[in-house]
Amino acid sequence: MTVGTTTLEIERASVEQVEVEPGVTELTFTVEPDSTGDVTFSLLWRTAAGDAVAYWHPHSVHRSLGVEWTRPRITNALKWAPLGALHDTSGGNVETWALDEVVEPVHIQAGVEEETSRFLHRVKVEGVAPAEGPYVVRMRVDQRAVAYSDALHDVAQWWLASSDVPALPVPDLALVPVYSTWYSFHQRLEPAAVARQAELARELGCKVLIVDDGWMTTDAARGYAFTGDWQVEPSRLGDLAAQASVAAEAGGGYLLWIAPPFVGMESAAWERFQGKLLTTIERLRCGVLDPRYKDVRDHLVSTCVSLVRDYNLIGLKIDFVDTWPREDAPAAGPGADFARVEEAVDAFLASLTAELRAVRPDVLVEFRQNYIGPRMWRYANLFRAGDCPMDRVDNRVRTVDLRLLTPASAVQADMLMWDPSLPAEVAAEQVLAVLFAVPQISVLLDQVPADHLAMMRFWLAFVTEHRSTLFRGRIESPRPDLQHPLVRAHGSGTTIAAAYTDLVVTVRPSDQADLWVANATGRDDLVIEVLASAPVSLVGAQDCRGAAVDLPVGELTAGLHRLPVPRSGLLHLHRL
């Protein structure tokens, strides 16, 4: 069958095809189980790639067209999401596709087919056992002449509309800057030092503090031998409830890191749950708990809920959830109430979410980038970029990608760190790299120069004031293949752009009246193009510490203008 420029080959399925709007087709596939009760469903399709330059998908930060014979990537409820978007050099959509199978494993191969010069997809779902009746899966194919970012946004809305459970609400505290202890302390937490950093962070605008790994043990060997009991070690945090209350009185709060899958060999829980492990990881000195047993899930839920309730926390940073799905998982043993690990994890997360919200309706739950698919939107409201310490390019790409795909949740950057001996302008580029996501500062604030503090104070105040536009506004980035060199976010009456390389920033009629441009080019100037159809006035500019720059204000004529905006500074324009 054909859909626009695409030809599809379908195995073992009947199909219903509906054009929901011009250029957008929805396909519904119905597959009868085989004699064993399982379902195997395969799709192969070829698309005329036209002038496509790259293929966007959430599995990688490196963009190219690729080749169709590469190793399949696998998505499931806890890993990535089943979609992809071909786009051209202007960021225009060539073809964007998505499945509504966001729980079961989907095997995906995609790339150029050498023999035909077309873009080929192979998608396979196998081993699914429907509870009753046939297996039904829907596919959305979008070939409209729109921006690929618009096509991705519409996929996200399609997933949200398809879900029988809404996304976890995003409270106001999800959108304020964060201080994290991870890169600044790692596991070597010390009560007075943590309290001091929390105090300094609040003065800079970081109302939320995440206490990462190390709070439950005196060990600092970077393994997980002491996970599993999840008891606060006083020598690491002192009176945690009292510190959390101080933060709450200042309008913020504390989150604790926790890794529910892990049970350490030095924990009391190690003996308790012998025989209920999916695997043992010797190099980390821990095992992975088997969530198919109800007592395992109950232990984990009660542990998480007790931490939030007993220590007056505003939420949890829940890590390593993606270690649960395993190809080498043993068969469920006697007493297990689920046959499949993925189903058990989903039951655990559903129960945990309900119990946490019963204690705190506005609870914050952070997940990491690997498990950001639409099924997870109901269980977390903070999605953080994967670990990329001090890599401002990687952090930028990861956060922008997350913003493109998760409109219903808050997106957080990986923790920010930098060399304190660098000029403030260079340090500021770590902050500007993640301008469109909630920043997490993770440097020792009493060991950086005063101008670094001034830089953070200025930029954190800016993102706090404009958080509605930056973190919730419609995001636009036309060149993901070039690692998002120019990004815009559009809010109510405000557009905020960031230039990450020396290029022309065009003021367009589609920009809002109030336009800010962050200079993350590494240079001391910005090139602005004013269109005759979109005249603007120059309001002013500031350096990275917030000091005003001496620029002639007033209307800019149509054409190109190279303006002396300092490195990591901010330009303010008004569209007339």
Q: Give the 3-state secondary structure of residue 298.
A: helix
SS (H, E, C) 429-458: HHHHHCCCCECEECCCHHHCCHHHHHHHHH
Summarised one tens digit per residue, pLDDT across range 463-520 is 999 999 999 999 999 999 999 999 999 999 999 999 999 999 999 999 999 999 999 9
- On whether both 294 and 157 belong to a single domain, the answer is no
Q: How many beta carbons lie within 10 A of that of residue 547, not counting itself? A: 12
- The DSSP letter of residue 166 is P
- On whether both 104 and 10 belong to a single domain, the answer is yes
Closest CA to 159 of 221, 239, 232, 75: 75
Identify the domain containing residue 512 by its residue range: 474-575
State which of 102, 131, 162 marks the end of a domain.
162
Mean pLDDT of the chain: 95
- On whether both 279 and 398 belong to a single domain, the answer is yes
Q: Is 535 part of any domain?
A: yes
The answer to whether residues 534 and 557 touch, using CB atoms and an 8 Å cutoff, is: no
The answer to whether residues 488 and 511 touch, using CB atoms and an 8 Å cutoff, is: yes
Summarised one tens digit per residue, pLDDT across range 299-348 is 999 999 999 999 999 999 999 999 999 888 999 999 999 999 999 999 99
Q: Is 102 part of any domain?
A: yes
Please report which helix (H) or strand (E) contains residue 362, including its range. none
State which of 113, 141, 162 marks the end of a domain.
162
The vertex-552 CA angle with 548 and 556, nearest 5°, equals 120
Q: How far apart are CA 28 and CA 138, in angstroms?
A: 4
Q: How many beta carbons lie within 10 A of that of residue 116, not counting itself? A: 11
Helix residue spans in 139-215 (DSSP H): 148-162, 182-185, 191-204
Which amino acid makes up residue 456?
M
Q: Is 327 part of any domain?
A: yes
At 535, list the tokens. Answer: 């005249």
- On whether both 218 and 293 belong to a single domain, the answer is yes
Return the percentage of the chain with pLDDT > 70, whole number. Answer: 100
Q: Is 344 part of any domain?
A: yes
- On whether both 341 and 259 belong to a single domain, the answer is yes
Sign of CA dihedral 280, 284, 285, 287: negative
Sign of CA dihedral 393, 394, 399, 402: positive
Q: Is 167 part of any domain?
A: no
Can you tell me which residue has the tokens 């996304």? 167
264: left (phi over 0), alpha (psi -120 to 50) or beta: beta
- On whether both 490 and 565 belong to a single domain, the answer is yes
- On whether both 361 and 498 belong to a single domain, the answer is no
pLDDT at 459 over 90: yes
SS (H, E, C) 2-42: EECCEEEEEECCEEEEEEEECCEEEEEEEECCCCCCCEEEE
Q: Is 107 part of any domain?
A: yes
Return the percentage of the chain with pLDDT > 90, whole number. Answer: 89
Q: List 497's β-bridge partners, or say none.
A: 488, 517
Q: Is 188 part of any domain?
A: yes
The vertex-401 CA angle with 389 and 514, nearest 5°, equals 105
- The confidence band for 525, taking pLDDT boundaries of 50, 70 and 90, is very high
pLDDT at 454 over 90: yes
Q: How far apart are CA 487 and CA 485, in angstroms?
A: 7
- On whether both 218 and 309 belong to a single domain, the answer is yes
- On whether both 339 and 451 belong to a single domain, the answer is yes
Q: How far apart are CA 68 and CA 186, in angstroms?
A: 41
State which of 127, 162, 197 marks the end of a domain.
162
- The confidence band for 16, taking pLDDT boundaries of 50, 70 and 90, is very high
Q: How far apart are CA 300 and CA 227, in angstroms?
A: 12
Closest CA to 59 of 397, 437, 435: 397
State the Cα torsion 293-299-302-307 to the nearest 10°.
-140
- The confidence band for 534, taking pLDDT boundaries of 50, 70 and 90, is confident
Q: In CATH, what number is assigned to the domain containing residue 288?
A: 3.20.20.70
- On whether both 153 and 228 belong to a single domain, the answer is no
How do the residues of the chain divide into helix, strand and coil, expressed in percent and rounded to 5? 25, 30, 40
- On whether both 437 and 504 belong to a single domain, the answer is no
- On whether both 458 and 484 belong to a single domain, the answer is no
Reported for 546-549, long-range contacts at CB under 8 A and 24+ positions apart, including other chains, are 546/454, 546/457, 546/458, 546/461
Summarised one tens digit per residue, pLDDT across range 61-100 is 888 999 999 999 999 999 999 999 999 999 999 999 999 9
At 95, list the tokens. Answer: 């073809």
Work out how many domains the chain is built from and give that number.
Answer: 3
State the Cα torsion 546-550-552-553 to the nearest 10°.
20
Q: Is 200 part of any domain?
A: yes
